[in-house]
Amino acid sequence: MRYTAIGLLQAAGVAGIVAYAAGADDYYAPDNVSRWEHATRDGGATFLVAVIAAAAAISFAFLVQGLFMKRRRAVGLAIPAGALYCALLLLAHAVLSLGH
């Protein structure tokens, strides 16, 4: 049950960062440029997609562990995976926010 709840929270975090990327960048107020468009102007789309996909994969792994695994085989990996997820989400947020 704990892994399912953590996986759902992580999935909400990934959805939140995707919604943040789609939001309008206030720096370009009259032009209505999204944060994604600004962050990927110099060819950073592959990096940003990889960071968000890795965070989504960790979220999916927690959901699978919580929903379908009866034995907790990867208990020792939960804390490092959660820490990596947080770092990836912060990195994605920073890439989408900085650069002005």
User: Tokens at residue 61, please?
Assistant: 């792994």
Give me the torsion for CA of 11, 12, 18, 19, rounded to 10°: 160
pTM: 0.86
Q: Which amino acid is at 22?
A: A
What does the domain layout of the chain look like in residue ranges?
Answer: 2-97
Mean pLDDT of 51-79: 85
Check: CB of residue 96 under 8 Å from CB of residue 21: yes
- Measured over all CA atoms, what is the biggest interatomic distance in the chain, rounded to whole angstroms? 54
Q: What is the mean pLDDT of the chain?
A: 88
Q: pLDDT by residue (tens digit) across 48-59? A: 999 999 999 999
Q: Is 99 helix (H, G, I), strand (E, B) or coil?
A: coil
